Structure 1
């Protein structure tokens, strides 16, 4: 399994609206891709800025290609993101899952 992590920042006053957009548009988009094993959205407020992490789990690199295209580390953005985000980070991070839910470490 591969975990894909995207980071974005928005003004705190726009954070609830951005979270609603993610729930209505982005999360269903991720979930519709074959090989997506789950989506989590995390939020941390820091002063007037809200940080979002989109943490998705994928069965394989091929499954990620079905969502992101051939450049696996390139961040995917939606047109609506221009209404919320302070910048557009060009890449995401990938981690291979070696164990979870009480599995012994590999």
Structure 2
């Protein structure tokens, strides 16, 4: 199994709206992609900035490519992301999952 992590920052005042946006966009796309085993959405606020960390679990790199395309190490964004995100981080990180509980 492969874990894919993505990080984004939004203004704290937009944190709830951004989470609702994630539920309408990326999280639905993850769930509808064969080979996706789930997602965790983590949120942390520091002053006026809220960080989001998404951890998705996948059966294989082929499953990730089905979601992200051939350049699967690049982050995948949606048109309205610029309404929320302070910047677009260009890359995601992948980890081999050794154990879960």
CA separation in 2, counterparts of 1:19 and 1:99?
28
Measured against aligned partners, the alpha-carbon deviations of 1:38-69 in whole angstroms (never above 9, x if no partner) come to: 01111000000000011100000000000001
What is the correspondence of 1:5-44 to structure 2 with a 5 Å cutoff? 5-44=5-44
Moved over 2 A (4+): none
- Tell me the residue number matched to 1:97: 97
- Between the two proteins, the alignment pairs up a number of residues equal to 101
CA separation in 1, counterparts of 2:87 and 2:2?
25
Name the Cα RMSD after superposition. Answer: 0.6
Residue 23 of structure 1 deviates from its aligned partner by 1.1
Structure 2: gaps of 5 or more residues: none
Measured against aligned partners, the alpha-carbon deviations of 1:48-91 in whole angstroms (never above 9, x if no partner) come to: 00000111000000000000011121000000101000000000
Structure 1: gaps of 5 or more residues: 102-106
